[in-house]
Amino acid sequence: MQRNDHWVPCFGNVTQLPTPERDAALATEAPAVALALAWLLRQHAPHRARTLLQALSLETMPVAAQVRGALMQAEWHQANAELDAAQGVLERIKGLEGWGNVAALQADRCLVERALALSQGNHAMADARTLEALRWAKWAKDPDRMELATALMAWDHALIDAASAHEKWSDAIASIAAVPMAPAAGWAQATLGLMRYGQGRPDEAARAYATAFDLLVTHGQTLWATVCAVNLAFVHEDLRDHEAALAWAQRGLGVARATGAAIPTGLALVVLGERLRRLAQWEPARAALDEAQLLLQPIRSARNYALLLNERGALDAAQGMFASALTHFEEARSRAMDLGDDYLLVTALLGMAEASLGLQDAPAAERAAQAGFEAAQRARRPSAEAEALAVLARCRAAR
């Protein structure tokens, strides 16, 4: 299928886009151009994109244009943890006729549905939507969208098993990342960073993530840039560069707050809380986590909420509140098991072991630590295996 009048790039270099002065005139004189501009700005400058969209008489435009406007609204609802509203918009556009053969638009619809499925904790559905996006992108003969779907599939795989993701995807992802001008280059670089980190190569992960962050910002992929920044905080902590870790956590929060979106802001607050906890700044850490909980409460089935639960447990344990810490870790374990996420599961189980030791329940601590070691083995994370063995040794010494 060839590109048609409804084709719009998936993302573009936002530094090369028109400035806002003529937005109002553009919406009147060239509504299709204004809609394309809003689409490219939807993450980078969401307020401006919304203003552009509101200035358009979408109902008078072709159905494909109405669908693109609706997809922006659905994406904003999803990023703001308004899942029912996002689902409602997506259901509404299914009833519109006349756009079913616009393959690039169908690919975009699939990726919005992927994001919604992840927020709902439905990773199988997210995988299916990403694969469907790739098929539509191939039908559209759209290499940028093909590469973006490929990078997202590899990222999702690497979150669960970095080693097998590297075996399956590394060549394809490295090829995408090698072309910095490509819209998918930033996400490909981030995926390389995730793979390197999962393989115990934090130096290489830090370089890949830093490159990814710059590329994602350049291409207007601000929501994803937040993910990259907070991952850099974790990587620098592993490198014992505490100053850089805190700086990246703060930078991630700044980028997230600029979007006005609840989910990236909540994630950044969780990571900032983790940094502050490690610096023994208990009150600021708890304030960050309290705000994160308010923002992430609507996505209790999602991975980000499990991250929050693990961090709440760690903060309570650090302050000697072992009973509440154990409750948080147990809930995080349950969610990690539902998600099939051994990375989160290891953290939850080792947290349970530490909390149980604090409660002087050595047998329960040993059981949790042993389960954590087994989860680390499944995830093929040598550093986590070593941590689990150290906790196991302490448990046995406490018997």
> Is residue 143 scored above 60 in pLDDT?
yes
pLDDT in tens, 312-369: 999 999 999 999 999 999 999 999 999 999 889 999 999 999 999 999 999 999 999 9
User: Residues 118-123: what's their mean pLDDT?
Assistant: 94
For position 397, what pLDDT does the model report?
A: 86
| 17-26, 139-148, 251-260, 272-281, range with the lowest pLDDT | 17-26
Interatomic CA distance for residues 137 and 131, integer angstroms: 10
- What residues does each domain of the chain span? 316-399
| Contact between 26 and 33 (Cβ < 8 Å) | yes
Could you tell me the sign of the dihedral formed by the alpha carbons of 363, 365, 366, 367, in that order? positive
User: Residues 108-113: what's their mean pLDDT?
Assistant: 97
Interatomic CA distance for residues 124 and 38, integer angstroms: 31
For position 2, what pLDDT does the model report?
A: 41
Hunting for tokens 């609204």 — which residue is that?
73
> Is residue 1 scored above 80 in pLDDT?
no
> Treating both helix axes as pointing N-terminal to C-terminal, what angle do 63-79 and 103-119 enclose, rounded to 10 degrees?
20
Task: Tell me whether residue 95 is exposed, middle or buried, using C-beta atoms within 10 angstroms of its C-beta: 0 to 12, 13 to 18, 19 or more.
Answer: exposed
> Is residue 221 scored above 50 in pLDDT?
yes
Q: Locate 248 and state its tokens.
A: 């990246």
> Where does the pLDDT of residue 199 fall: very low under 50, low under 70, confident under 90, or very high at 90 and above?
confident
For position 6, what pLDDT does the model report?
A: 61
pTM of the model: 0.94
Q: Say what the alpha-carbon torsion angle 244, 247, 252, 256 is, to the nearest 10 degrees.
A: 180
For position 145, what pLDDT does the model report?
A: 96
For position 359, what pLDDT does the model report?
A: 96
pLDDT in tens, 152-185: 999 999 988 888 999 999 999 999 999 999 999 9
What average pLDDT does the structure give for the chain? 93
More confident residue, 272 or 391: 272
Q: Locate 383 and state its tokens.
A: 């550093």
pLDDT in tens, 302-321: 999 999 999 999 999 999 99
Interatomic CA distance for residues 95 and 67, integer angstroms: 10
Percent of the chain residues past pLDDT 90, beyond the cut: 84
> 293 to each of 272, 287, 378, how far by Cα in Å?
13, 10, 30
For position 44, what pLDDT does the model report?
A: 92
For position 3, what pLDDT does the model report?
A: 47
Interatomic CA distance for residues 314 and 326, integer angstroms: 9
